[in-house]
Amino acid sequence: MIRALLARLRLTHDNHKRIATGAVSIGLVVLATKLCSAAREMAIAWRYGISAEVDAYQLALTVTTWLPMWLSAVAGFVLVPRLIALRRSGGDKRFVDELNGGVLLLGGGLMALTWIAAPFVTDLVTSALPPATRHLAKSLATNMAPIALLIVVGGYFAARLQAREHYWFGVAEAAPALIIALFVILGSVDAAVAPLLYGTVLGWLVYALWLARMTAVADPPLGRLGLRHNSEQWQLLYGPIFAMGLGQLLLTATIPVDQVFAATLGEGAVSTLGYVNRIITLITSFGFVVFARALLPVLSAAIAEGKHDLGRRQTLKWAWLMAGFAAAGTALGWLLAPIGVQILFERGAFNAQDTALVSEVLRYALLQVPPFFAMIVLLQYYAAANRYTVILVINLIALLAKVAVNALLVGPMGVAGIAISTVVMYALMALVLAIGSGERWSRRPQTKPA
């Protein structure tokens, strides 16, 4: 039996081996970074519990980071396939220089926009909260504006490293979590939210500088700063950047949408949703980072070589595999949810009643994991195949569905209704993506040579 299994493994396509090997390497790194994230959440729960301070920090962090995170996601989806195709054609140094300058200008502009607009946006999403919480959230959002630049720059360097299949850059992602945890634990008792503020800004600074150094070593040269778009490669990026950017903007908009609905439920609801989301994010971001990073370069190379059918078949196999593993994990997580919440959070100001409340919502939220994993795998094929317009349409439909389910369920079910709306959103996306990637509906993209 073992001999037959080994023989079957030897016959496995090289692409599957590359994906699996990359996933293992990435998984080890991500596991370490997620442990750091768990330490951060435990530190915050120990010091603040479910409180107005956590409400304010969570809302300010959302206002400050959701646009930069959107841009980083776009950079990964659009730049990785383009950089791989470009490298196969001999490269374009001028394009890299212009990318460097464009990213720096974009990040700087976003930092300025965040500093100016954060107070007004925060007012909009905190209207149902007490005045003191609203004031604190506005102050935090304004002071955390520099992380917008740092996230954009770091995301760009991460895309360059991913295109090279150098996956160990993920260790830099542990920096923000570790530094925040240290500031929260070591900060003075009367420091209020200052440890959260300073730890967040310093953590993202270390993250960006670390990735810059890794890029200089793994993808030399780092390049100069070009401020014009003279390279012909830009003509191949404008359309995908717009479509994917708008699509990701719609998807990331679910975060503030959920928090607006949660804020209408009164004090503590945003904190409850935040604790649940942080646990779910430990799971979903693990799968996203591991398999998106491992799949996209391999599928992009297959598409660049004209092997569209091979890429489609391999994508569907991985989607089914990941959905199956995630379903088994969800069943186990449903049983262990109260124990997990207790271990992670129940200390200091976070009491047994808080554990029961968060555990109840967490069980509903866990149902999103299987469709999420399948959706992430399928998205990599669409990105590699340059089907960004299809992604845009699917994201729009999913967002509208989520808002509708929120409107129906938040009233009778509270925060649990928000969790169910996320399940519906990801299930709908996975279904439509799977249908669209079938042989009948899948169209080979008409891509221009690099």
**Is there a domain that residue 132 lies in?**
yes
The domain total for the chain is 1
**Is there a domain that residue 447 lies in?**
no
CA-CA-CA-CA torsion sign (384, 386, 392, 397): negative
273 secondary structure, DSSP code: H
**Is there a domain that residue 334 lies in?**
yes
- Which pLDDT belongs to residue 449? 38
| Host domain of residue 290 | 14-436
Rg (CA), the chain: 22
* Cβ proximity of 160 and 80 under 8 Å: no
Encode pLDDT of 71-117 as tens digits: 887 877 788 888 887 777 666 677 888 888 888 998 999 999 989 98
| Band (403; pLDDT cuts 50, 70, 90) | very high
- Which pLDDT belongs to residue 203? 94
User: Would you state the torsion angle of the CA atoms of residues 149, 151, 153, 155, taken in this order, to the nearest 10 degrees?
Assistant: -160
Nearest CA to 313 out of 326, 303, 324, 327 is that of 303
**Is there a domain that residue 111 lies in?**
yes
The rounded mean pLDDT for the chain is 83
**Is there a domain that residue 79 lies in?**
yes
- Which pLDDT belongs to residue 447? 44
Encode pLDDT of 185-232 as tens digits: 887 766 678 889 999 999 999 999 999 999 988 888 887 887 777 777
Place of tokens 């439909």: 397
What distance in Å separates the CA atoms of residue 381 and residue 315, rounded to the nearest whole number? Answer: 6
What distance in Å separates the CA atoms of residue 56 and residue 151, rounded to the nearest whole number? Answer: 21
Q: Tell me the backbone φ, ψ of residue 258, rounded to 5 degrees.
A: -60, -40
| Band (448; pLDDT cuts 50, 70, 90) | very low
SS3 annotation, 377-440: HHHHHHHHCCCHHHHHHHHHHHHHHHHHHHHHHHHHHCHHHHHHHHHHHHHHHHHHHHHHCCCC
**Is there a domain that residue 4 lies in?**
no
pTM as predicted: 0.74
- Which pLDDT belongs to residue 1? 45
What distance in Å separates the CA atoms of residue 137 and residue 126, rounded to the nearest whole number? Answer: 8
Percent of the chain predicted with pLDDT > 70:
91
**Is there a domain that residue 251 lies in?**
yes
Percent of the chain predicted with pLDDT > 90:
23
**Is there a domain that residue 446 lies in?**
no
Task: Kindly tell me if the per-residue pLDDT of 427 is higher than 90.
Answer: yes
